[in-house]
Structures are given as C-alpha cells and as structure tokens.
Amino acid sequence: MIGYVYFLGIGGIGMSALARYYRHTGAFVAGYDLTPSALTLALEEEGMDIHYTDDPRNIPPQIMENRENCLVIYTPALPSDHKEWQLLRDKGFDIIKRSVALGRIARDHHTLAVAGTHGKTTTSTLLAHILQDSGTGCTAFLGGISKNYNSNLLLSNNRFLVAEADEYDRSFLQLYPQWALVTSADADHLDIYGTHLAVKEAFASFVSQVVPGGAAVIKKGVQIPLQRLEKTDLFTYDYEEPCDFFARNHSIGAGGIYSFDLILRGKTIPECRLGIPGKINVENAVGAAALASLCGIPAPAIKKALASFRGVSRRMDVRYKSERYCYIDDYAHHPNEIRAAVQSVREWFPDRKITGIFQPHLYSRTKDFAKEFAESLDLLDQVVLMPVYPAREKPVPGVGAETICDKMQLGNRRILDAEQIIGFIRTARPDVLLTLGAGNIDRLAGPVTECLKEMDQ
C-alpha cells in the first residue's frame, strides 16, 4: 500500500481525481500546481497540502523523508525544466505519468473505458451515474465534475471502474478494459500525432487492448483501422441510424429536454427521457446505455438513470435561464465540438439570436484548424473571440485569435480581452449566450451569470 503520493500538477481534472482516490486509501497526499483554482481549494479543504510556487523547499518533509513508500505523479503538461520535478528525479523517487497511475489502478478492476476526441466526458459520467443509480456502484475517474455527485471521483467496493480514456499523449494505451467505447476519432492533438491517420491508429490500438471476452462499441461512421479482434465482440451505436444501439422517435420538449425510444440490440426501452438538454447528449446517452447494458445493467435501471442525470459542469452547462436570457457554458475546443454545441443550442432555440464567446485553446490547434474553427463559428449569429489560451505551449508567431477571425464569413464578429467581456454583455444584451473553450474562460462563468441576473432585474 502506497503511503505517500506527491502530484506535480495536482489541479488538473484527471490529476485531482487521482489525488482524491489516494487520499481515500489513507495516503498522505500533497502537490504543486501553477495557480489556485476552485478545484485546488476544494482539495485543500479535503486535507491535501498544496502550494503554487515551483520551489523544492515547498515539498512537504513527509514526502522527502519517505522516498521508498512514495509515488510521484506528474502531468504531461509539466515543463521539462520544472525544479521540483528535477529534484525528485535526482533523488530517485518513483515518478510516473497520470495515465500510468490510472492504468495501475484499473488493473485490479473490471474497466469500462470511454474514449473519443469529443463526447467522452459526458458519456463516461452518465455511464458512471447509470451504474451508481442502479445500485450496482462503481469507482469512476471522470474528466469533469459530475453535477449528480459534485465530484470527479466516485468510489465503490465492487470491481467496476469507469475511466475516461484520454487520447492525449496516447494516455489511453495504459488501459486494458473489459468494455470500451469510442465516441469519435477526429483529427486533434496533431502536435503529438502529426497526422489524422496516426490518431486513428492510436484509437485502433486502444480498441485492440480490450481483453478477450470483452466488448467494444464504436460510434457508427467512425473509421479506424481495426485489425482482427480476437474473442472480442464489436458493436456500433448512433443517434438515430439503425445499428446495434440507437434511438428513435425523438421529440424535444421544454428546456431542450429530449424524449426517445432506446433500442439496445433489438430490444426497445420506450419513452426514455434524458435529464439534460441537447441533441448531442442523446447520442452520448445511447453510448453510455450501450456499455451499461453490456455489463449487465437492466433496462428499467438505465431508463431511470437517464432521467435523473444532471450533467457535467462545463458540458452544455445551463448556468442561467430566464424568459429573457439563456446562458450555456461548454468545454468545446475542437471545431467539431463547437459545431455540435451550436447545432444543439440552435435546435433548442430555433428563432432566437445566439451569441458565442470562444477562447481558442493552444496555438498549435488554432493554426491546424483555423479554417474549420471559422466555419463552425460562422454558424452563430454573433461571435466574440478571445486571445489564445496557451496552456503548455509558447506563442507561435503569426498565430492568434486573428488567425480564425480573418477566415470567418460572419460579419458580426470581434476580438476582445477577458476584461472586456462583461462590458460587451451589458451593451449587446445577448439573447442566448454560449461560452466555449477549454482554457481559463471558465473563470468568466460566475461573473457572466451575475451580470445576466442583474440585467434581468
């Protein structure tokens, strides 16, 4: 049993779930992160020792004095010249990536892994909710904060483990699941993979790691170069196209909530209702229900859990709704994700003006997909672009929000800094507002919500 765990980048959504898991096992948990956040403050309140300056002197003595019984976990986003990382390496600590730590934990469980360049967070969180709500239970490492449980970690004593399988840095190849689902395999992370074909090949490798006797479910139309799968069942799912798992008789009601009949390998669950809005989430629900049914969750329990699902923070997250305004916050940071989000909101509000505020994430992604970003954002009625959020990257000369803006056809578009957003909202009074991006745009959600409330009075 590991007694001490130290995290370099503890505030990341995946890292923080691991921190909570090891804390639950009784380990002393501490860590570093670049800046405080709501998540790191929550971890501190849960008893973890966290600091925000890269200084080896800040590493707790409990960590330094227990090298033989200590595990150090780092995020791939950590810079190579990080001082604490260098010291811990020099001292001979056991240092592993987040993905390796998750893979080690998963080895002792029956793993349900959800992968995809988009849709995996909502799908894996809904899958975990189905298992939890059914009374079966699961341990789950989620890529977002579940609104049903106010956490990115669920705990259980049974053997089921739900994991969001991250394709970045080929992290998901650390997993050997019993059941796997692939929601999408779009071109992304080309700074890592180089080509779209390499992305597809990585997803094919992930599916090939499903253990004998297991099953893989792939979104219909997703083309990945699968080799022959030995003793592994292969299924497809879709929003409405007939296949192994799909939905039909869709209808949209108040609040953008969908009702539909769910078809699971020829068996119909009639009049299902999903507890969160958005067409894209119906597709996610079909995928989650597919894996849940394959691991033995009965149809009535699946139907009940779909209705009680409250969603994930920053995934089609309705932050404010009144007769006059609606504000939705979403993590979408890839052109296809933006397109899906806008189309879902458009279907909900077909006759209202939709304003989008988008913060591009990574210079490399902005450069690689500027044309595609422009085309997706052109589906909106009004667009505000914010400066690129660099994350792990250094600025690239000639690449910025202007790179996308210059390729757009929409006339009503502009570029604004974060400090200008609230002023813009007060002036523009957007009917339906959609904030998009994976950077620190999430820190605007609270002020935007309060601004709309004040304007509604």
> Domains in the chain, please, with CATH?
4-97 (3.40.50.720), 109-308 (3.40.1190.10), 317-456 (3.90.190.20)
Q: How many CB atoms lie within 10 A of CB 31?
A: 27
pLDDT in tens, the chain (457 residues): 899 999 999 999 999 999 999 999 999 999 999 999 989 999 999 999 999 999 999 999 999 999 999 999 999 888 889 999 999 999 999 999 999 999 999 999 999 999 999 999 999 999 999 999 999 999 999 999 999 999 999 999 999 999 999 998 899 999 999 999 999 999 888 888 999 999 999 999 999 999 999 999 999 999 999 977 778 899 999 999 999 999 999 999 988 899 999 999 999 999 999 999 989 999 999 999 999 999 999 999 999 999 999 999 999 999 999 999 999 999 999 999 999 999 999 999 999 999 999 999 999 999 999 999 999 999 999 999 999 999 878 899 999 999 999 999 999 999 999 999 999 999 999 999 999 999 999 999 999 999 999 999 8
SS3 string of 8-64? ECCCCHHHHHHHHHHHHCCCEEEEECCCCCHHHHHHHHCCCEEECCCCHHHCCHHHH
Q: How many CA atoms lie within 13 A of 102 on its CB side?
A: 32
- Which residues fall within 8 angstroms of residue 58, CB to CB, at 6 or more apart? 32, 51, 84
Query: CB of 143 within 8 A of CB of 120?
Result: yes
